[in-house]
Amino acid sequence: MSESKANKYEMDMCNGPLLGKILVFYFPLMLSGVLQLLFNAADIVVVGRFVGSSALAAVGSTSSLINLLVNLFIGLSVGANVLVARFFGAGQKKELSEMVHTAVLTSIVSGCALVVVGIGIAGPALRLMDTPEDVISQSVLYMRIYFAGMPFMMAYNFGSAILRAIGDTRRPLFFLLAAGIINVILNLFFVLVLSMGVAGVATATVISQAVSAGLVLLCLMRSEGDYRLELGRLKIAPDKLLKMIQIGVPAGLQGALFSISNVLIQSSVNSFGSIAMAGNTAASNIEGFVYTAMNSFHQAAISFTGQNYGAMKYKRIGKIALICEISVCIVGLLMGNAAYLFSGTLLRLYATDPEVFVYGTLRMGIICTTYCLCGMMDVMVGVLRGMGYSVMPMIVSLLGSCAFRIVWIYTVFRYFHSLKSLYYSYPISWGLTFAVHLLCFAFIYAKLLKKQRQGGAL
């Protein structure tokens, strides 16, 4: 697979040393995630500082519901990523083109469906969640405007998944940077100049998403490779859609169910009062940067495994898994422990109450110092998904993380009613789930190599 000016953004993941290519893939992806977190934080800062606490509460109250509705469809982009990488690595030009057009059209259709669902259930769902009366109207308004931009969000997520699959993480970074800057500028303009409040922040988000979606689709339309997007050829290939669903829906369901388990964890934290909640929230925000840095190796594992699986270079999959596991462990240990070491300074960015620091430091001392286990667990899931296995890691993750934590809450936490005992459920569940994922991978990988030696096909 030769590289020319036309395909300089593509990456041949199937030949040559792996570590350098994984790191070249990783860093732009990691920076994209960090930028996204910073831009999201800017949204919250603008609302909190220039509109008021009720507006801040209105925006915050919608996040869990939005994640619950969006995660299932975002999971489909994981299926698109795996299949595009597989066809690209195998050199299957026709299948690659069909997959790209199926994925893009699916993103538009699913985005339109989310517009209808999100706008329709915003009011009833937020009332069901006992959203306070003094913020409910602003929450509904924010959510309805936000969901009006779902076709753009879906198009960007699917489009960037296609680019990641062929090894391009640089251009999505540039697109996100441009859209993020526009988002911040429009936030300030709509809120400070036009006094639009939460409607202004939501509108700025929709416009920035439209910019990022337009850039990524234009990029695909101008590509010279077999993944080139032609609007006249947009069509859903039933066999490609079915495969995308088989891989993507379990990933989406896993994300949605994780949201439910996190709601239970949050409810348990809430029982310790508002100061504990503030400390927990501040620590969680800081941890988000560590998680994003680790999760980029999960994305790398999916794309690299997918390409090599498609090219039937199965021995390289073991090397990919090992490199990504060692890398994510190093990043998790360094960043997690650094975050804990400087927890006092970092937490002061969020609050001034010394009690908040105590609760925040308690969480970070348990979560951040062991966060590498979460990264190792996710990388193993990425490798398995890249090989086309999605239901198995979903079941293991749900039992090992979600179900385990729920049982922990009603047993250990009930007996030792402390935040420390609650937070310990995280590293224990990560370690157990990683161990089971590793056993599953070892079994599947040995079976794969055996079939290859025998000259069989999967």
| Predicted local distance difference test score (pLDDT) of residue 132 | 67
Q: What is the distance between the alpha carbons of residues 65 and 77, in angstroms, rounded to a whole number?
A: 20
Q: What percent of the chain has pLDDT over 90?
A: 46
- At 283, the pLDDT band (50, 70, 90 cuts) reads confident
Q: What is the pLDDT of residue 4?
A: 46
Report whether pLDDT(152) > 50: yes
Is 434 a residue whose pLDDT tops 70?
A: yes
Residues in Cβ contact with 155 at an 8 Å cutoff, skipping those fewer than 6 apart: 104, 107, 108, 111, 213, 216, 217
Position 436 pLDDT exceeds 90: yes
Please tell me the total number of residues recorded for the chain in this structure: 458
User: Distance between CA 362 and CA 279 in Å, rounded?
Assistant: 9
Tell me what pLDDT residue 129 has: 65
* Across 4-13, 154-163, 171-180, 322-331, least confident range: 4-13
Which has the higher per-residue pLDDT, 250 or 51?
Answer: 250
Q: What pLDDT is attached to residue 197? A: 83
Q: Is the distance from CB of 74 to CB of 253 less than 8 angstroms?
A: no
| Termini Cα distance of the chain | 24
- Give CA–CA dist 104/218, Å, rounded: 12
Confidence of residue 49 (pLDDT cuts 50, 70, 90): low
Which range, of 64-78, 101-115, 191-205, 317-331, averages the lowest pLDDT? 64-78
Confidence tier at 274 by pLDDT (50, 70, 90): low
Question: According to the model, what pLDDT value does residue 209 have?
Answer: 92
pTM as predicted: 0.83
Residue 3 CA to residue 150 CA, distance in Å, equals: 35
Positive or negative, the CA dihedral 170, 175, 176, 180 is positive
- pLDDT at position 332 is 96
CA angle 1, 10, 92 (to 5 degrees): 55
